[in-house]
Each structure stands twice: as C-alpha cells, then as structure tokens.
C-alpha cells in the first residue's frame, strides 16, 4: 500500500463536531458496482463540486465516488473556513512567471469565487454559515510591510486586473484602527467570505446523492490502470471497478494513486484551532473582518470570526516550517503539531488590542494535510498520455477561492460540453509543467536544508 494514503483516526476538527450521520460513513450500495461512466476519487471540495457540475451537464452519467475515510474528512473538513482570494500579495511573483496577463487571470479568477460560492450556496439553499465580509491583511514585519506595498502598487498598475476597486490600502493610525492590530502600519482590505466548509460540501454531496451519485466511504483506491479498450481499472480495498473516465480529486494524497506526482503534489501538514470565550455568558469582542496575518516569508496566520462569536485561527507556521520532518511529505493528521495549541491560545491577546483583556480558550485544535505543488499552482485537466483521466488537485492552503470554478470548468470538459478548459492558463497541465523537475516548496517556505532541533 502507498505511503501516501490518508491515515486512520485523524484529529477532530471543530467542523466535524457536527458530522453528518447520514453521509459520514455512507455506502450507497452494499457492493461496488462493476462498471460506471465516471469514478471520482476523493469526496472533498474538489471531488464533490466536480461531480455536482458533471451531473448538471450530463444528468444520466453514472458516477461512483470512492473515499478512503469518512465523507469529506480531508483538508476541506480541517481548514480555516476562509474564502479569501489573493488579490495582490503574490502579484509580482505571478507576473515574473506568467506575465501581467497571466497574473491578472489568476487574480480575477480568485475574485470570481466569492460571487460563485455565494450564488451556489443561495441557489441550493445550503446552510453553511456563509458570511460575505471583508478580509483585512495585516503586516507585522518590515519585510511583510514592504512586500505588501510593492505588490499592491504593482497590482493597481496591471491593466488586466478587473477587481482593483474592491481593494483599499490604509496606512499608519488608520491601519491600526481598521485592523485593531497595534503592530500593523499597513493593512489592505477587500471582499472575502467565510463558511463552514464541511457543511457546504455535505450540502452539495446530498444534491449529488439525490441525483444518483454512488458514494462509497472508507474505500481507499490502491491503484489504477488503463485497459486495452481505453477504460480504467480502479483497484480498491473492496474490489475492482471499471470506469470510462477517472477523476483524481485526491489533493495532498495524489501520489497514492498517481506515483508520477510524488514530487509534484506534496503532502504538507498544517495546524488550525477553534477559540471561544472562557466565560460562555460573555461574547467575544467581535472582529468585523476576517484576517490574513503576515510575518516574514511564508509565515502567515489566518483567522475568521464566526457568526456565533467563536474564532477559527490557523497557521502556527513558526512551529512547523523550520522542521522539515514534521511537515514535509507527511500524511499523518492523527497527531497535532507540537506547541500549536499553546501558540493559538496566546495569539488573540497578542494580536488584537480589543482582545487584550479578554479571556478565551482553545476548545479544538487539529492538524490537516495540504497539497502543495512544485510550482505553487494547482494541477487541473486531463493527464498527458492518459485520455479520459483527469486531475483536480494541489490547492495549497488556498483551495476555497480556486476549487469551485476549476471544478465547474473541468466538469464541462469531462462531459464533453466544452473543448476548452476555462481556467487560468497557469493551472493547466502542460508538458513543461509535467517535465519540470524543480521543486520550489521548501525554498518558498524558508525551510533550512539541515533540520533544526524541534522546540
């Protein structure tokens, strides 16, 4: 069995405090079907929304979804619930690789996700605590401040960026008042969203099930192979299935079914928490924004203030990225990141002056596995040399503003309703990307090549 399969007994995230008992361990049929039109591997945000749009484009398609653990128990159930497009901070990095147009394509695509998700939640009437809000990026080191200003200004000069009017930068005292963070001389705000990601996906899953999707949980896919007739043999722990088309929505675990992605989509372990008032009769000081909290390099925290007053805070990367063996190519989300609970417990008082005298506690802390890619962008499309085998994976800590419209576009191609995959060109699978052997992940995270002692 592959070392990259999801592990059993994962830590319990806040989002699974209301695990859906109808769907969590569902096996739509007692046995696996012998043959179907499409097998989708993975029941997270990517697999579930791709199936949704596939059924919308082609209602008679038979879809079998195979999931290694309980339904939607991967990154989607362990994330920060933050629908926060990156509209400027990576602008120059994208521009240097993909040009002004390419950078704008990614920015515009991410911005479109806010409306896209809101419309889908409303259309399907999914109760998932969706809140339309503004995110506030605060910058707590001179390096982060400089990077924010340089990239913000460059983004405003890019003629292809359509959402410039949605961003606002504030300096000095105004930045501190707006952000409620004393240590941030610059803040940038823009439209964002927050939601209960597990409930969103399970809501969509139920629509799919009503349309005939066959879900088989706790059924890991061990291997796939192409048959002479062009169909795919999918081997699972519970027997084999034949499929005309195959979709890998396996994110961090892609190498478990597609070994050629071993150094292209790498499992990276992350940490997140849920924070509540120590005294249930006292409301937490409400933060009107969601937050990106930036220190140097890749050291960032992220935060949403939920409509029930609780806070989801993730990151703690100071305790992760210096120690390669703790997080790199790690699929084990059954254990916590050392020191993450202590880090999250102290953060609110340290960060926000409105929380300085307020007592809160961490009631859930968990880990999750993110799929980082060698060049930092997702892989979406048909796999070269493997007709009818598709992938939608590699979404870093940034899937919420990227997956939905990738899934929508990919489903049209799978259903043969479109020949063109309408996603940013840089997300597509090209020969160059597949042949690229430079893996930028550790460098981008600032991880030293020699392991530091763990704290």
Ligand X SMILES: Cc1cc2nc3c(=O)[nH]c(=O)nc-3n(C[C@H](O)[C@H](O)[C@H](O)COP(=O)(O)OP(=O)(O)OC[C@H]3O[C@@H](n4cnc5c(N)ncnc54)[C@H](O)[C@@H]3O)c2cc1C
Which residues are at the interface with ligand X (CB under 6 A)?
Answer: 5-6, 41-47, 66-69, 73-76, 78-82, 220-221, 249-253, 256-257, 270, 272, 302, 314, 368-370, 393, 395, 397-401, 403
- Shortest distance, position 249 Cβ to ligand X, whole Å: 5
Task: List phi, psi (to 5°) of 328.
Answer: -90, 125
Residue 54 or 400 having the CB closest to ligand X: 400
Q: How far is the CB of 417 from ligand X (least distance, A)?
A: 22
| Tokens coding 183 | 């240590």
Q: Give CA–CA dist 177/20, Å, rounded.
A: 40
**Sign (positive or negative) of CA dihedral 200, 268, 181, 361:** positive
Give the contacts of 99 (CB within 8 A, at least 6 positions apart): none
* C-alpha 17, offset from chain centre: 20
- Least separation, in Å, of the C-beta of 399 and ligand X? 2
For the CB of residue 37, give the shortest distance to ligand X in the complex, in Å: 18
Pick the closer one to ligand X by CB: 185 or 368: 368
Give me the least distance between CB of 366 and ligand X, in Å please. 7
Pairing between β-strand 63-66 and β-strand 35-41 as defined by DSSP bridges: parallel
Of the two residues 13 and 185, which places its CB atom closer to ligand X in the complex?
Answer: 13
3-state secondary structure of 259: helix
CA distance 319 to 322: 7
| Type and span of the H or E element at 366 | strand 360-373
The token pair at 416 is 């043969």
Closer CB to ligand X, 400 or 413, in the complex: 400
Closer to ligand X by CB, 185 or 381: give it.
381
Q: Phi/psi of residue 33, each to 5°?
A: -65, 155
DSSP result, 182-250: TT-SEEEEEEEEE--HHHHHHHHHHHHHHTT-EEE-S--EEEEEE-TTS-EEEEETTEEEEEEEEEE--
Do residues 369 and 333 lie in contact, with contact meaning Cβ atoms separated by under 8 Å? yes
- Which H helix or E strand runs over 368? strand 360-373
User: Minimum distance between the CB of residue 72 and ligand X, rounded to whole angstroms?
Assistant: 6
Tell me whether residue 49 or residue 185 sits nearer to ligand X (CB atom): 49
Closest approach, Cβ 253 to ligand X, in A, equals 3
**Torsion region of 297: left, alpha or beta (phi above 0 gives left; psi -120 to 50 gives alpha):** left
- Smallest separation (angstroms) from ligand X to the CB of 42: 3
Distance of closest approach, residue 235 Cβ to ligand X, in angstroms: 10
Residue 229 region, left (φ>0) first, then alpha (ψ -120 to 50), else beta? alpha
Q: Please, what is the minimum distance in Å from the beta carbon of residue 259 to ligand X?
A: 11
β-strand partners of 216: 27, 66
Nearer to ligand X, 150 or 222 (CB): 222
Residue in 227, 240, 431, 252 with CA at minimum distance from that of residue 330: 252
Copy the structure tokens of residue 296. 């140097």
The residue among 170 and 271 lying less far from ligand X, judged by its C-beta, is 271
In this complex, which beta carbon is closest to ligand X, that of residue 43 or of residue 447? 43
Question: Is 184 or 367 the residue whose CB approaches ligand X more closely?
Answer: 367
């Amino acid at each position: 069995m592959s070392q990259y399969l999801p592990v059993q007994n994962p830590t319990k995230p806040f989002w699974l405090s209301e695990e859906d008992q109808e769907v969590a361990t569902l096996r739509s049929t007692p046995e696996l079907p012998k043959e179907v039109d499409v097998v989708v591997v993975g029941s997270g945000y990517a697999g579930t929304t791709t199936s949704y749009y596939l059924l919308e484009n082609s209602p008679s398609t038979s879809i079998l979804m195979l999931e290694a653990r309980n339904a939607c128990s991967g990154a989607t159930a362990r994330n920060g619930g933050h629908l926060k497009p990156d509209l400027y901070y990576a602008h120059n990095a994208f521009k240097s690789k993909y040009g002004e147009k390419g950078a704008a394509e990614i920015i515009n695509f991410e911005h479109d996700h806010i409306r896209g998700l809101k419309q889908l939640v409303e259309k399907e009437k999914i109760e998932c605590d969706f809140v339309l809000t503004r995110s506030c990026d605060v910058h707590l080191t001179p390096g982060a401040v400089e990077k924010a200003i340089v990239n913000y200004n460059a983004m405003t000069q890019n003629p292809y960026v359509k959402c410039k009017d949605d961003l606002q930068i504030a300096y000095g005292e105004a930045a501190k008042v707006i952000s409620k963070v004393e240590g941030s001389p610059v803040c940038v705000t823009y439209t964002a969203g927050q939601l209960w990601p597990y409930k969103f996906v399970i809501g969509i899953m139920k629509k799919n099930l009503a349309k005939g999707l066959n879900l088989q949980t706790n059924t890991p896919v061990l291997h796939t192979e192409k048959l002479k007739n062009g169909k795919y043999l999918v081997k699972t722990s519970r027997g084999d299935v034949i499929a005309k088309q195959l979709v890998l929505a396996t994110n961090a675990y892609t190498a478990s079914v597609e070994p050629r992605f071993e150094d292209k989509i790498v499992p990276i372990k992350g940490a997140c928490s849920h924070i509540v008032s120590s005294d249930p009769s006292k409301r937490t000081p409400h933060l009107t924004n969601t937050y990106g909290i930036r220190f140097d390099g890749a050291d960032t925290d992220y935060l949403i203030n939920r409509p029930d007053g609780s806070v989801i805070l993730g990151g703690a990367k100071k305790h992760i990225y210096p120690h390669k063996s703790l997080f790199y190519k790690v699929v084990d989300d059954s254990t916590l990141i050392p020191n993450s609970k202590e880090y999250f417990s102290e953060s609110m008082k340290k960060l926000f002056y409105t929380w300085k005298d307020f007592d809160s506690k961490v009631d859930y802390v968990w880990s999750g596995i993110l799929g980082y890619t060698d060049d930092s962008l997702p892989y979406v499309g048909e796999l070269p040399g493997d007709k009818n085998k598709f992938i939608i994976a590699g979404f870093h800590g940034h899937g919420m503003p990227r997956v939905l419209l990738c899934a929508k576009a990919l489903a049209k191609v799978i259903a043969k309703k479109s020949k063109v995959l309408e996603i940013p060109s840089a997300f597509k699978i090209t020969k160059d990307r597949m042949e690229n052997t430079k893996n930028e992940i550790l460098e981008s995270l600032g991880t030293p090549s020699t392991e530091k002692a763990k704290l």
